[in-house]
Amino acid sequence: MSLTCEPTLFEKSAPGRRGVMPPPVETGVNWRDSVPAERLAEGPPSLPELSELEVTRHFVRLSHLNYGIDTTMYPLGSCTMKYNPRINEVTARLPGFARLHPMQSESSSQGALELMYLLQNHLSEIIGMDAFTLQPAAGAQGELTALLMVAAYFQDRGESQRKIVVVPDSSHGTNPASAALAGFQVVTIPSNANGDVEITALQPHLNDQLACLMLTNPSTLGLFENQIEAIADGVHKAGGLLYYDGANMNALLGNARPGDMGFDLVHLNLHKTFSTPHGGGGPGAGPVGARGELVKYLPSPRVEKQEGRFAFFRPERSIGRVRTFWGNFLVLVRAYTYIRYHGAAGLKQVGEGAVLSANYLLSRLKGAYEVAYDRTCMHEFVLTARGMKKERNVKAMDIAKRLLDYGYYAPTVYFPLIVEEALMIEPTETESLETLDRFADTMLRIAQEDPELVRSAPHNTPVSRLDEVRAARKPVLRWEEGPS
């Protein structure tokens, strides 16, 4: 079914239509007298004129064109677009939480402080850390927070020469960016043919210049790092720290803990692992956990329990605040709800379900599509369309666009950067077997379709294939009357 393009409000506008009725101006009062002259235009602003009903229908129709986890499968690799249970929204809307004000006294916020205290402890237990901060507003800010802690830690130890942060070439792009922002020098090391860290490339950096190694485990290739114990041992013997990018923690829930692998610091993406809202620019949460001596560098304030009451306190060598107030509290309520709702056994089942779903899809698509690293995956896997590009001139982007015709949001394309024509697929644990089979059937069908049909996709969306280069270089950021 072909969808028509929704006209803009300007195109629907008709002179004289009103959605509001402003109060009449008092007789003898000139409204221009109260407006600075430099802000006055020659005439009224050129705004669309429509009725309230027309505006409402316009935005409802646009909302129906959106892709979201509530409407379709969203296999966006590295992002864990899992379903957000509605019980999370129920608890976040409880008046006692929703109506709190950040300036309230501790005595009138004991319930909220207790929830934060318990969430800190739950995350510490799940991840294998000694303590957590709930302040960071996103995973990337969590990365920066942890690296600022690393800098403070080595400064106190008189080891300010430790300026090197090592990241694998399969890392998230925020890793090197956060390290550079924190004042470190970034060194990238390659992955080996099996998708693991190339140990021989790491070894030259295991010296007194090393501050930290940043790892995602499972990696952005969807693979568990087979040599993690040897890596942790080598980093620690060199006096460095091991940092865990928690973006892929969803695969390990209840089955493995970063703290047990030797990681010293960790950030979590609550929207990926603990089902808080994802996308739209926030709000988010990226709690940071620490072990041992690093605990005293955590941002302040944290919540502690003293004589049966809960209160904020500042760790001994805290790096200070990393954002205003205490964190995105209602996001934290949602994550707490998810943890309590599932319990230990349920969280373990979540991790196992995510891994099972990914390996099932991988087994169905292997053969029709080339696998970047042909081994058992974790929660996601990476296909490559390099063979199709060479043989049929069909690229990863073409496959992604064609999936839109079948009602699926596309997987992540062209990431990780080390895989040519990458298609990164993460089904998560929340999709049924029937949904996985329908998606697999669709992918297999696309692999057999006429190349020209795939290259010219999408065909059933309001807007077809765009000139992406032109859109990036010459974006049209506001409506102008007449032909574009």
Q: Kindly list the domain boundaries of the chain, sorted by start residue.
A: 86-342, 351-471
The pLDDT value given to residue 1? 39
pTM of the model: 0.90
The pLDDT value given to residue 281? 58
The pLDDT value given to residue 430? 96
CB contact at 8 A, 312 and 321 = no
Distance from first CA to last CA of the chain, Å, rounded?
27
How many other CB atoms are found less than 10 A from the CB of residue 292? 10
The pLDDT value given to residue 482? 66
CB contact at 8 A, 357 and 375 = no
State which fold the 351-471 domain adopts. Answer: Aspartate Aminotransferase, domain 1 (3.90.1150)
Roughly what angle, to the nearest 10 degrees, separates helices 329-365 and 110-127?
Answer: 30
CA dist., res. 439 & res. 366, Å (int)? 14
For 86-342, CATH number out of 3.20.20.140, 3.40.640.10, 3.40.30.10, 3.10.129.10 equals 3.40.640.10
The pLDDT value given to residue 479? 76
The pLDDT value given to residue 182? 96
The pLDDT value given to residue 42? 62
| Phi, then psi, of 305 in degrees rounded to 5 | -110, 125
With a cut of 70, which residues of the chain have pLDDT below it?
Answer: 1-4, 22-44, 279-282, 482-484
Contact partners, residue 36, CB within 8 Å, separation at least 6: none
The pLDDT value given to residue 418? 94
The pLDDT value given to residue 476? 85
